[in-house]
Structure 1
């Protein structure tokens, strides 16, 4: 099975860039942990998306143990920034007529009329 890999970076104490590849499984793990942490109340407040330190600790522990990694809080923050950016792109795309989310395939799909229109050029 094909697993998507994403890269993020963080800076260590000596300001050297340290790249890290994210997999779909890691994203799934991070999502599950953060959902649980939010349910526990480990968010600063309901109107703000800032997580409490306990949420970061739980995510780091789970990811580092399950995937034998040495992630930092900065890796988690960068991944969340990437998710926010991707969400914005998806939201904008889905706002256009003819585009919708396919829950089974977990992807955006377009009606044939939209696809045909894009090929006319």
Structure 2
């Protein structure tokens, strides 16, 4: 996880206020990757999904360490909801639509030329 949390000043997100809790917050792809990796590690350590407060605190600490931003539990939970919606849409494309496939090399969904 040390590599995942290495400071990356070029990709620091924009927060309109000092606390990051009430202002506009722009999530980056890199932040999503870090957040998902932290969640994966959290679960692999045996933590249960029903510990939302602890999970949110763990996520907030990891993102603060990497990006020097303070995120509220609401912002973290809202982002997780958004990512779950995106995952559902991606799964629908792969399972219910023809012409879409998963490329394991690029880790992206690809569409055939017909689509």
Q: Same fold (TM over 0.5)?
A: yes
Structure 1 segment 12-27 matched on structure 2, within 5 A = 18-27=23-32
Number of equivalences: 97
Q: Give the corresponding residue for 1:37.
A: 42
User: How far did residue 59 of structure 1 move?
Assistant: 0.9
SS at match of 1:18: coil
Q: Give the corresponding residue for 1:79.
A: 79
Distance in 2 between the 1:82 and 1:60 partners? 17
Distance 1:19 1:82, change over 3 A: same
Structure number having the greater strand percentage:
1
Q: Give the corresponding residue for 2:92.
A: 92
Which residues of structure 1 form unaligned runs of 5+? 6-11, 45-49, 116-121
Distance in 2 between the 1:42 and 1:57 partners? 13
Which residues of structure 2 form unaligned runs of 5+? 1-10, 14-20
Contact (CA 8 Å) 1:30, 1:63: kept in 2 or not?
A: yes
Q: Bigger relative contact order, structure 1 or 2, given CA contacts below 8 A and separation 6+?
A: 2
Deviations 1:56-83 (A, max 9, x none): 1111001012101011111110111011
TM-score (norm 1): 0.68
